[in-house]
Amino acid sequence: MHNQTIPQGKLVIQTVAMPADTNANGDIFGGWLVSHMDMGAGIAARRRSRSRVVTVAINSLTFIKPVSVGDTVCCYAELLNIGRTSMQFKMEAWTISLNEDIPKKAAEGIFIFVAINNEGKSQPVDR
């Protein structure tokens, strides 16, 4: 799944990896990357359902390459499936370094969201 050369899906979030986001090895902390992928998936889920959403699962998350300080991190969302109250997105995180213009995939995974109402109860995606 991760041998492609261009991102799949829509760009939903873009940011720069900063020194404060590093782990003990000097690379960007994996949890930081996952949180941005989750935020991007949440943005896509909110747009699709036009409601509040919550993350209910992250499946098959794979880290492909380290993210370095200064890299631009771009998260892409592709809607895979819509259930009655849930949505499944394939998320890809790509990086662009200062020294190269070629994006490289850093991580990918499947994120599942549920649409909720103002009381926090699940509701149909398509109302």
Token digits of residue 99: 């020294």
Q: What's the pLDDT tens digit per position in 16-36? A: 999 999 999 999 999 999 999
Q: What's the pLDDT tens digit per position in 34-93? A: 999 999 999 999 999 999 999 999 999 999 999 999 999 999 999 999 999 999 999 999
Chain-centre distance for alpha carbon 98 = 22
Q: What's the pLDDT tens digit per position in 95-120? A: 999 888 899 999 999 999 999 999 99
Q: State the burial class of residue 69 (Cβ atoms within 10 Å of its Cβ: 0-12, 13-18, 19+).
A: middle
Is the distance from CB of 113 to CB of 42 less than 8 angstroms?
Answer: yes
pTM for the whole structure: 0.94
